[in-house]
Structure 1
Amino acid sequence: MVNVKYTNSQEYRSLEDLSLSSMELDLVHMGKEQCLPYHACSATREEYIIHFIISGTGFYSVEGVTYSISPGHMFLISPGVPTVYCADVNDPWSYMWIGFKGLRTNAILKQCGFSKNRLVLPSPDKDKLHQCFDELFDHVVQDYAGSLFREAALLKLMALLVNTHQEFLKQERVQDDYLGKNQHLDAAIEYINTHYMKDISVSDIAEHIGISQGYLNRIFNERANMTIRNYLLEFRMYKAANLLVGTNLSVKEIADNVGYTDQLVFSKAFKRQFGLSPKNYRTYRYSLENL
């Protein structure tokens, strides 16, 4: 019997170098890690990887789109797709991950709710996740029985993800019924999507829809767990982050492109969001992608 590569420390625990035993669905590696501030990974993988955020925050960037990730989220990395993900400087995340491959992966991931345009989803219950990972870590011997135990535990984890997505869809339908499909929310988001580059305010959005600012804020708090002002701010900041990395526009030009007439006000808002000035963020992201 041969042990797999097993690491166990307070900050980092992992199983790696697993020999493949099933063509249908097989665990390649897995682990848990408490990351340091700005701990970053930039790579193109040969397997699928799902990260489950347990605490802290960070960002995940893929194909020119940047996502803000927080506890209760999970995100998918696909084979052959360059990605960058990084822990926050003030509140670095801890996460668990699984790397896997096999003929059934596409069908299973679809049932979990993942798609090309939906790479970040609500994560399962934290205690249930820990239980699945503990079962996987209980079998570190590279023999036939160990591989069967890991395969069973991996299938159990995937079933948990599918059930989580089904519950999410059910809650979404109930919420939509309760809010009458919320045409006001959809109209507000559409207005922001098409007018964020202009100097619009919350009052402009509410006036366009024909409701009060207070009612619009209640809708956003119920559905998005944030105020509409914060939604507009975050929308603009992540558009700006994508422009900083994906274009050679100056900071002033990017500020203009996301609805800020004052470059200084934009830079302060950007630094509050990401912990870096726009110029330093661009330099840092370029350095990550050239690792």
Structure 2
Amino acid sequence: MTTDKRSTKEPDFVSVQVSKARRYYLNLNPSVSAAIAVVCGGVERTRTEYVVQRDRFPYFGIEMVTEGRGELTLRDRNFALSPGIMFAYGPQTPHRIANVPPSQMRKFYVDFVGHEAEAALRTAGLLDGKPLRVTRMHELVELFEMLDHEARGDSDVAGEVCEHLLRLMLVKVRQCCLAESPAMPRAYATYERVREYIETHYLELHTVEQVAAQCDITPIHLSRLFRRFGGVGAYRFLLRKKMNRAAEMLLEDRLLIKEVAERLGFSDAFQFSRAFKRVYGIPPRQLVRSRLSSFES
């Protein structure tokens, strides 16, 4: 399902090679005098054949991969895309983004303009011709989600709020970035291996002990890895993966709450609802009601 705040027709620069997307359009005609102005953004799940190739682009763009695998070309340099990779491009930056089957990448993005945009991206290390790997990815996801929430509101200051959120995101990138190098700690390589295992098998995993056993490490080591590199406990990460999928099932697949609970391996709908509220702060029934009311309005 694709959602649009201002129009029903997608702009030409938006890819249609996606299986699912949630998008917002805050201001497609920004002022040329703006310091930084958010234009649009969202999150999308690519199709396996997804390929986007551009010689130029109307805006500055930031993208962050949260699931799946892909390939990125910035100018004439090639890079691998995986969860935790963030990259940016400017209006004059040739770039190519492709999904690597059989995965289907899930990635957040935000597009913006302004006479301070390029300098802000450079300060964050995002215009050096290569992507960044970020830790505590969930904190950046929360900022992308906050941008989405504020951009969809009817507030007269939505643009200003989104500008501050974008600036905060760029500062946060400096805090969370982890330079790619041959000297990258072995512990981080283990963290990546375990995180990838969770992302691939989270539907059948229920406890941290299961994860640790399958990845041949101790639960204590597992917990330390996620606290150090993920900024969140391993079980919290696993639960968030399950609840992200649950939200997709409820909003996009239109499944019943009891059906989602069963598919995710919960003993009953009550246990599932409690876990969902722990992650999102609201019960799944409230999320479903908000979906229905948005269609009725």
TM norm structure 1: 0.52
Residues 5 and 15 of structure 1 are in contact (CA less than 8 Å); yes or no, is this contact kept in structure 2? no
Unaligned runs of 5+ in 1: 177-184, 186-218, 227-291
Partner of 1:23: 34
SS at match of 1:90: coil
SS at match of 2:164: helix
Determine whether 1:13 maps to 2:22: yes
Q: Which of residues 59, 62, 65 in structure 2 aligns to 1:50?
A: 62
Residues 30 and 113 of structure 2 are in contact (CA less than 8 Å); yes or no, is this contact kept in structure 1? no
- 2: distance between equivalents of 1:23 and 1:220? 39
Q: Are the structure 2 counterparts of residues 6 and 29 from structure 1 closer, same or farther at C-alpha, using a change threshold of 3 Å?
A: farther
Partner of 1:4: 6
Identity within the alignment, %: 16
Partner of 1:216: none
Residues 29 and 98 of structure 1 are in contact (CA less than 8 Å); yes or no, is this contact kept in structure 2? yes
1:48-98 deviation digits (Å, cap 9, x = unpaired): 111101011000113222211111111112212222111111122110011
- 2: distance between equivalents of 1:4 and 1:64? 36
The alpha-carbon deviation at position 134 of structure 1 amounts to 2.1
Residues 85 and 134 of structure 2 are in contact (CA less than 8 Å); yes or no, is this contact kept in structure 1? yes
Q: Are the structure 2 counterparts of residues 99 and 40 from structure 1 closer, same or farther at C-alpha, using a change threshold of 3 Å?
A: same
Q: Are the structure 2 counterparts of residues 20 and 95 from structure 1 closer, same or farther at C-alpha, using a change threshold of 3 Å?
A: same
SS at match of 1:157: helix
- 2: distance between equivalents of 1:35 and 1:10? 6
Residues 49 and 77 of structure 1 are in contact (CA less than 8 Å); yes or no, is this contact kept in structure 2? yes
Partner of 1:69: 81
As a proportion of its length, which structure holds more helix? 1
Residues 62 and 88 of structure 2 are in contact (CA less than 8 Å); yes or no, is this contact kept in structure 1? yes
SS at match of 1:81: coil
Partner of 2:156: 144
The alpha-carbon deviation at position 149 of structure 1 amounts to 2.0
Partner of 2:110: 98
Unaligned runs of 5+ in 2: 10-17, 191-297
Partner of 1:154: 166
TM norm structure 2: 0.51
- 2: distance between equivalents of 1:220 and 1:125? 16
Residues 4 and 141 of structure 1 are in contact (CA less than 8 Å); yes or no, is this contact kept in structure 2? no
The alpha-carbon deviation at position 25 of structure 1 amounts to 0.9
Q: Which of residues 39, 49, 52 in structure 2 aligns to 1:41?
A: 52
AA aligned opposite 2:6: V
1:113-139 deviation digits (Å, cap 9, x = unpaired): 1344x4211135222122212211222
AA aligned opposite 1:148: E
Aligned runs of 1:130-279 on 2, under 5 Å?
130-139=141-150, 140-141=152-153, 144-165=156-177, 168=178, 222=186, 225=189
Larger radius of gyration: 1
1:177-196 deviation digits (Å, cap 9, x = unpaired): xxxxxxxx7xxxxxxxxxxx
Structure 1 stretches (4+) deviating beyond 3 angstroms? 219-226
1 or 2 for the larger relative contact order (CA 8 Å, sep ≥6)?
A: 1
AA aligned opposite 2:95: T
AA aligned opposite 1:12: A
